[in-house]
Amino acid sequence: MCGIVGAIAERNVVEILLEGLKRLEYRGYDSAGVALLDSDGNLTRTRRIGKVKELADALHQYPVKGATGIAHTRWATHGGVTEANAHPHFSSERIAVVHNGIIENYQQLRQDLTAKGYGFTSDTDTETIAHLVHWEVDQCKDLLTAVQRAVKQFHGAYGTVIMDKEDPERIIVARSGSPLVIGLGIGENFIASDQMALLPVTRRFMYLEEGDVAEITRTSIKVYDRQGRLVERDVSESDVEHDAGDKAGYRHYMLKEIHEQPTVVRNTLAGRLSESGVSANIFGHGSEDILAKIKHVQIIACGTSYHSGMTARYWLEQYANVSCNVEIASEFRYRKSFVHPNSLIVTISQSGETADTLAALRLAKEQGYTASLAICNVPGSSLVRESDMAFMTLAGAEIGVASTKAFTTQLTGLLMLTLALGKYNAMPKIVHDDIVKALHSLPTKLEETLALTQGIKELAEEFADKQHSLFLGRGDQYPIAMEGALKLKEISYIHAEAYASGELKHGPLALIDDEMPVIVVAPNNELLEKLKSNVEEVRARGGIMYVFADKQANFKSDKTMRVINVPHCEAAIAPIIYTIPLQLLSYYVAIIKGTDVDQPRNLAKSVTVE
């Protein structure tokens, strides 16, 4: 989704801004732009539709310079993908603005500003920020005060950076609902929507909090809270790998990230899982006392993270004797729901910045939950900072828009949460010990499963000309079927639906023919015989099946069924293991179809607007 980079320095910042935008490309966008203020006080702007490369080419063809600048990658929300709608937006060639989020009352503001004589050149909500700040600065003659006055009039979400040609020694930034991080340099300072953008120039970061407005000069940073009080915000040193953005020889980030899973799952387990299990304090300071009280878990998440939550529900109820509900964040936040006594709210998110998940957490905190826990991959993210407890998945930076290693590390964390809660809720010792053993074997099992690559590549050939597909699973494999279908549609644009296979006869059987491949996940568990009956229902209707099965499940390939044997594993970790072949399948189908695997059309990595 939209990305912001800004800089105020002594040197020309064009390359810093471009490199920052490139590092944010993975988030998804459709146009890019940059505005620069040079030492003679000239304000210039270059914008292009398409990739950052188009913008870089334009800036190399028509070079411009500036020691202060703001840049943006836009993912269209209000107004189509046009150069006029791309950021930065100007007011009278004086005020320049980049913005992430949505100003919900922009139509009213637009009317008011038009009445005051401002002319609009785009269809965006962002342009109202530029004109409103311009209006306010004309009234109060101070850019900082003007921004503080303007943000009070916005409804909605914003992370915004503002330059004023008449006030070239500072940039003003403001955040509410969209993240912003200040990068601290020596004699220069930076701003971005994600620290990844700034890693080549600094490792020292200050995260702004909700409602903050900050004034950034080359040598100072002053932060004011929502009430306008001067406040201190912590500065932290980032330990994110500088080169986390490298593909390490793989053709795509997604493939690299699929292959990293044994390592990152091992990292996520390390120091947290011992021979005797997990201690509740792995979820943060004081979590032992909190988890001991919990009798119900409410999980909230979006996209792939929602699927890991759905899987956890099976685990928590089956193994830990704790009741659990799971809901999509955008639904949860707009309906009245019931809070059970002694309930824990668990949010799951790779980025920790998904607008709906964050809003759902904030709502839940007002509703009387005992405590909140974030399962998240980004330290310092809003979700982590606003939760009582946090479990960091150690997946490392995930660049591919289609989530892979974040999902399997989330599942690893959730299985550890199952162990921790099971301890206080009569989990039988034999169940506990089996899960501990299974988790210890997980990294090696993942390595063995990745060895299926060649067979899956061949299988992918049979999918590439298909328009539709059906994924089937039962029990804790149903969410895995959903995740497999999501991966296929995200990156290969093939319509894919997932069904709990017991539901087949209630509708989807009508779709079955030899043009609709049916993918089945079939570990050797207590539901195997039921699943086999469902497979026969498909076969009887001429369906063609691709079955990922445990060898002991005894499926045999024939002309209607292709069987790929998945290494045998303990039942508790089977959802994690069976995810791998489905990721590989979607990846190789996308390769054959020639789609943009790492940045699929219309999608964004981090959805910071609702």
List the one residue from 100, 193, 261, 354 that touches ligand G6P (CB under 6 A).
Answer: 354
What is the nearest approach in angstroms of ligand G6P to the Cβ of residue 116?
38
Geometric angle at alpha carbon 212, from 210 and 217, rounded to 5°: 145
Site residues for ligand G6P, 255-294, by CB under 6 A, read none
Binding segment toward ligand G6P, per CB under 6 A, in 220-228, 301-309, 319-327, 542-550: 301-309
Q: Are 171 and 369 in contact (CB under 8 A)?
A: no
Are the beta carbons of 236 and 205 closer than 8 angstroms? yes
Is 350 among the residues that bind ligand G6P (CB under 6 A)?
yes
Nearer to ligand G6P, 71 or 375 (CB): 375
| CA distances (Å), origin 322, targets 289, 291, 299, 317 | 16, 11, 12, 5
Burial group, residue 61, by CB count within 10 angstroms (0-12, 13-18, 19+): exposed
Number of shown-chain residues binding ligand G6P (CB under 6 A): 16
Cβ 206 vs Cβ 179: under 8 Å: no
Angle between helices 574-593 and 453-461 (to 10 degrees): 50
User: Tokens 């685990």 identify what position?
Assistant: 315
Is there binding between residue 381 and ligand G6P (CB under 6 A)? no
495-500, strands of its sheet edge to edge: 495-500, 468-473, 518-522, 545-550, 561-566
The residue among 68 and 372 lying less far from ligand G6P, judged by its C-beta, is: 372
Cβ distance 217 to 208 under 8 Å?
Answer: no
Cβ atoms 43, 37 nearer than 8 A: yes
Tell how far CA 316 is from the center of its chain: 24
* Nearest one of 530, 500, 531, 523 to 570, comparing CA atoms: 523
Which C-beta is closer to ligand G6P: that of 212 or that of 610?
A: 610
Contact range with ligand G6P by CB under 6 A, out of 347-355, 429-437, 527-535, 579-587:
347-355
Under the criterion CB under 6 A, does residue 508 sit at the interface with ligand G6P?
no
Question: Which of these segments, 60-68, 71-79, 345-353, 560-568, binds ligand G6P (CB under 6 A)?
Answer: 345-353
**Between 405-423 and 303-318, two packed helices, what is the crossing angle to 10 degrees?**
30
* Contact call for residue 304 and ligand G6P (CB under 6 A): yes
| Separation between Cα atoms, residue 489 and residue 484, nearest integer Å | 9
**Is 387:361 a contact under the CB 8 Å cutoff?**
yes
Closer residue to ligand G6P in complex, CB, 126/357? 357
Q: Catalytic residue, from 423, 445, 487, 605: name it.
A: 605
The interface with ligand G6P within residues 403-432 (CB under 6 A) comprises 403
Binding of ligand G6P at residue 343 (CB under 6 A)?
A: no
Residues 61-120 binding ligand G6P (CB under 6 A) are none
Smallest separation (angstroms) from ligand G6P to the CB of 26 = 10
Please, what is the minimum distance in Å from the beta carbon of residue 303 to ligand G6P?
Answer: 3
Does residue 544 bind ligand G6P (CB under 6 A)? no
Measured from the CB atom, is 564 or 603 closer to ligand G6P? Answer: 603
Stretch that binds ligand G6P, among 167-175, 256-264, 349-357, 557-565 (CB under 6 A): 349-357
Nearer to ligand G6P, 394 or 522 (CB): 394
Q: Residue 150 — φ and ψ, nearest 5°?
A: -65, -45
Contact region for ligand G6P (CB under 6 A) — 3-11, 141-149, 344-352, 587-595?
Answer: 344-352
Residue 351 contacts ligand G6P per CB under 6 A: yes
Choose between 134 and 175: whose C-beta lies nearer to ligand G6P.
175
Q: Which of residues 577-606 bind ligand G6P (CB under 6 A)?
A: 603-606
CA proximity to 151, closest of 207, 192, 94, 212:
212
Residue nearest to ligand G6P (CB): 303
Strands (E), 459-534: 468-473, 495-500, 518-522
- Among the listed residues 2, 324, 376, 569, the single catalytic one is 2
Among 182, 344, 401, 518, binds ligand G6P (CB under 6 A): 401
Quick check: 80 and 27 in contact, CB under 8 A?
no
Question: Quick count: other Cβ atoms within 10 Å of Cβ 111?
Answer: 11
Amino acid at 57: D
- Closer residue to ligand G6P in complex, CB, 302/456: 302
Among 55, 213, 302, 361, binds ligand G6P (CB under 6 A): 302
Q: Is 605 a catalytic residue?
A: yes
Using CB under 6 A, which of 124, 128, 357, 412 touches ligand G6P? 357
By CB under 6 A, name the one of 262, 303, 484, 581 that touches ligand G6P: 303
Question: Which is closer to ligand G6P, CB of 349 or CB of 469?
Answer: 349
Closest CA to 255 of 455, 393, 399: 399
| Contact positions vs ligand G6P (CB under 6 A) | 302-305, 349-351, 354, 357, 401, 403, 603-607
Q: Which positions are catalytic?
A: 2, 605
